[in-house]
Amino acid sequence: MPFVAAIRRVALGAVLALLASGALAAGPGRSAIASPHHEATAAAQHILQQGGNAFDAAVAISAALAVVEPYGSGLGGGGFFLLREAGDTPRYAFLDARERAPAAARADMYLKDGKVQPGLSINGPLAAAIPGLPQALADLAATHGKLPLKDSLAPAIRLANQGFAVDRIYRDRATMRLNALRDDAESARLFLAGNDVPALGTLIRQPELATTLQRMAEHGRDGFYRGPLAKRLVDGVRQAGGIWTLDDLAAYRSAWREPLRYPLAEQRELISSPPPSAGGIALAQSLAMLQRLPWQSAEPVQRSHYVVEVLRRAYRDRGLLGDPDYVSNPVNRLLARHYLTGLADSIEVHQATPSSALPPSPAWREGDHTTHFSVIDAQGNAVSATLSVNLPFGAAFSVPGTGLVLNNEMDDFAADPGGSNSYGLAGSQANAVAAGKRPLSSMSPTFIESPGQFASFGTPGGSRIPSMVLLSVMGLLEGRPVAEWPATPRYHHQYLPDVLEHEPGTFSARQKAELEERGYRLKDVGRQYGNQQVLYWDKAGGTVEAASDPRGVGQSATGY
């Protein structure tokens, strides 16, 4: 609306004037944390109270989540960390701690007689890539932290020894993977009670995991990737039929990459995840297309139509992407203004575009039970991190004596690039299995920054992550209260299958009928999904807020 736009221009001018005068503080003056579990939030608060910064707090949160959320992340998995380094001109960094395929991995390792054997890339040690999270924690402490690694790991070590209480999310995830957990004696011992899902309030203690964390506290990355623990990991994997070697562990390194940066309207900038994440590109494309569409003034069905159509087009391009260390990603072409203008102009105002009418692209899917947190300190340093073991409890395989449940991220590769992966979807050569390669991901830790605002977004949810983050970013762009961003009802389209998925209650009966008249095929997924954790810093007002998704059991906090 013209009046709203005028008000925004006046407000932006005032903020710029304050910046020029030096009246705006370099940092918010207090910290904020949004994490999916109260124990992780408490760990971060402790570290900040001890004089640590946001990067130290990120180590503490990640390690604590490895204890209390074995279904979502852990030392046996990996993740992406988006960093903001405070200053008059903030600097951004992206730490890629995605797991890597073992050196013995090959493109046909999950095929037998030309057909994919789904179980091999889902359950057991052959499904596990080389973990990246331990390296990331050591890297963060060494390059950006103020405290030694041992201090930042201390809350998680205490938590693993003392135990945590089973909550409804733990029970839900354990129920989903109950048979797989039962099939592995060590996983059953660690995460079940009497070979069944633990009751609410059951105390889960993990002394072996505490010992593993203590080894890292004393020896850093070599405490995990070399020495006695590395040998125990390799022996346990190989005895159960896996292909890890000591060289695989010793050779693992995380990768520092340039974050994806994309200018938006009103001097905002998107700072998000580059490949091997496909999420940042999908977000940039979606926001760029929405800028050409009157979505803010549209009634609900029309707005949903615009959002679904930009998502359909953005998700179509995902099959072109892969690990940047192995393939050349056409990022510049996918983010070119003329290309995105053409995509936006191809959207019919009142009619769905059948995905079959767009140029073909490989379909895909990935595990959707990861975890996410956001933290900012008083100086303005910030971390947005999405961590994963892929499916709940990863490969449901735990290495005896280590407390570690391993990821099943190998299933995020295209198991059969010429045919279909374990989900029955078309494969992609760019994301084919190869030794040392990182699988493509949708994990999308994201910042939006302008002269007057800073916001952090992210969520678990596999292929639905970019659509969830987009819906939350729209809340920022509209000026809605921060608590509403992660609570917004969710819907999703990913090009193929050509289905508009949604949570129960997202659309009314009338809205569903209108969408169907436009040509959409709707699917109620039957449950709520995602667990978004967001932050907002109003630089002009000097306030900072955090919000946790009401779908989860997370806790947000400000102070210090």
DSSP letters along 312-360, please?
HHHHHGGGG---TTTS---HHHHT-HHHHHHHHHT--SSS---GGGSPP
Cα–Cα distance for residue pair 269/272, rounded to 1 Å: 10
Average pLDDT over residues 181-207: 98
**Residues 246, 126 share a domain:** yes
pLDDT of residue 5 exceeding 50: no
Tell me the C-alpha distance between 425 and 499, whole Å: 14
Task: Residue 176: name the closest of 462, 391, 32 by CA.
Answer: 391
556 burial type by CB count under 10 A (0-12 exposed, 13-18 middle, 19+ buried): buried
Q: How many degrees, rounded to 5, is the angle at CA 324 between CA 58 and CA 406?
A: 50
User: Which stretch of DSSP H or E encloses residue 175?
Assistant: helix 168-176
Residue 7 is assigned to a structural domain of this protein: no
Q: What is the pLDDT of residue 23?
A: 46
Residue 215 tokens read as 């080894």
User: How many domains are there within the chain?
Assistant: 2
Are 298 and 403 within one domain?
Answer: no
Identify the H or E element spanning 47: helix 38-49
Strand partners, 383: 83, 375
Nearest Cα to 263, choosing from 272, 255, 254? 272
Phi and psi at residue 284, to the nearest 5°: -60, -45
20 located within any domain: no
Task: Give yes or no: residues 289 and 250 share one domain.
Answer: no
Per-residue confidence (pLDDT) for residue 107, from 0 to 100: 83
Tens of pLDDT, residue by residue over 392-403, are 999 999 999 999
- So what's the pLDDT on residue 420? 41
265-295 pLDDT per residue, tens = 999 999 999 999 999 999 999 999 999 999 9
List 202's β-bridge partners, or say none: none
- CA atoms lying within 13 Å on the CB side of residue 194: 3
- Residue 545 reports pLDDT greater than 60: yes
Amino acid in position 464: R
Establish if 162 belongs to a structural domain: yes
Element (H, E) at 62: helix 54-68
Asked if 394 and 349 sit in the same domain, the reply is no
Residues 515, 399, single domain; the answer is no
pLDDT of residue 368: 61
Clarify whether residues 232 and 276 are in a common domain: no
The predicted pLDDT at position 417 comes to 57
**What's the distance, CA 298 to chain centroid?**
30
What is the mean pLDDT of the segment spanning 202-224? 98
In a domain? residue 428: no
d(CA 472, CA 24): 26
pLDDT at position 108 over 60: yes
Residue 122 CB burial class (10 angstroms; 0-12, 13-18, ≥19): buried
The reply to whether 51 and 168 lie within a common domain is: yes
* Confidence at residue 424, expressed as pLDDT on a 0 to 100 scale: 29
Q: Are 72 and 171 in contact (CB under 8 A)?
A: no
552 part of a folded domain: no
Residue 117 has pLDDT above 90, yes or no: no
295 and 231 in one domain?
A: no
- Say whether both 342 and 465 belong to one domain: yes
Which residue numbers are catalytic?
Answer: 370
Q: Is residue 429 part of a domain?
A: no
Going by C-alpha positions, the residue among 326, 342, 331 that lies closest to residue 278 is: 331
Dump pLDDT digits (tens) for 37-88. 999 999 999 999 999 999 999 999 999 999 999 999 999 999 999 999 999 9
d(CA 84, CA 527): 34
Strand ordering across the sheet containing 491-492: 491-492, 500-502, 522-524
Q: What is the pLDDT of residue 2?
A: 39
Same structural domain, 264 and 399: no
Question: DSSP letter at 527?
Answer: S
In a domain, 80, yes or no: yes
Which CATH number fits the domain that encloses residue 466?
Answer: 1.10.246.130
Residue 496: strand, helix, or coil: coil
The pLDDT value given to residue 26: 83
Query: Partners of 432 in the beta sheet?
Result: 414
Residue 153 has a pLDDT of 98
User: Mean of the per-residue pLDDT values for the chain?
Assistant: 92
DSSP 490: -
- The reply to whether 394 and 322 lie within a common domain is no
Domain match, 212 and 350 both: no
Residue percentage of the chain with pLDDT more than 90 = 84
Domain of residue 302 covers 258-366+443-540
Neighbours of 102 (CB within 10 A): 24
Q: How confident is the model over 448-500, as pLDDT tens digits?
A: 999 999 999 999 999 999 999 999 999 999 999 999 999 999 999 999 999 99
pLDDT tens digits for range 490-544: 999 999 999 999 999 999 999 999 999 999 999 999 999 999 999 999 999 999 9
Each residue of 138-162: pLDDT tens digit? 999 999 999 999 999 999 999 999 9
Q: For residue range 419-437, list pLDDT tens digits in order.
A: 443 322 334 678 888 999 9
User: Which of 165 and 421 is assigned the larger pLDDT?
Assistant: 165
* 518: in domain: yes
Band of pLDDT at residue 116, cut at 50, 70 and 90: confident
Identify whether the C-beta of residue 364 lies closer than 8 Å to the C-beta of residue 319: yes
CA atoms within a 13 Å half-sphere pointing along the CA-CB vector of 98? 31
Cα angle for residues 380, 63, 44 (degrees, 5° grid): 35
Burial class for 59, CB neighbours closer than 10 Å (0-12, 13-18, 19+)? buried
